[in-house]
Structure 1
């Protein structure tokens, strides 16, 4: 039985890439590691029924595309970076919505902390 609401999930967690995102000049010059988690919401039944990769998302290719975005054009806000990553996820036809978390564990905060994370959820219906 297929799920028209797309509540099956494919996740890629802990994807690491170096980027130059941030509002401070040092962040742009030196760069830092970002960690990305994505969860795609889709119906995987057609792929499972036919054992056909073209009916789902090739997560290896997705990971490469996400890394290109992190390593690409710098932005001030990790909110903007998260949106760009969500756009990559939603470009895959079977994906109905995506949740993206961008971790910035080396954020310039002069206090002890573990992580800074921005998480967004976007759906195909919400695309411009």
Structure 2
């Protein structure tokens, strides 16, 4: 399998279990790895997956309906990626760098992998 990777897609979202997270919002960062067979001969956009379309969909999920869990956010992004017929497998990491923890930390993230075939 070949891959298309989008790293560090950033947008403000309102996800979290605390009221202040849903009211004030915070940055979310998403990495997506799409696995598919790439046509490296035709030079035809219709024979691949547009990473611009994927980026738009990721941003739409981040800025869309608030969810309690970043696991749910990751799952929705993965489902949208798999809806592109050429994508066989996707790995999504959702980073929540300003998660409400009292400890010092640099990031909290969830990574999931999903495939078209079980």
TM-score calculated relative to the size of structure 1:
0.90
Partner residue in 2 for 1:120: 112
Distance 2:17 2:83 in 1: 28
What are structure 1's unaligned runs of at least 5 residues?
1-6
Equivalence map 1:80-119=2 (5 Å) = 80-119=72-111
Aligned partner of residue 84 in structure 1, secondary structure: helix
Shift of 1:119: 0.1
Distance 1:50 1:113 in 2: 46
Partner residue in 1 for 2:40: 48
Moved over 6 A (4+): none
Shift of 1:61: 1.4
Shift of 1:29: 0.4
Distance 1:68 1:95 in 2: 19
CA RMSD of aligned residues (A): 0.7
2:34 counterpart of 1:28: no
2:55 counterpart of 1:63: yes
Distance 1:36 1:21 in 2: 14
Shift of 1:88: 1.1
Greater radius of gyration (CA): 1
What are structure 2's unaligned runs of at least 5 residues?
none
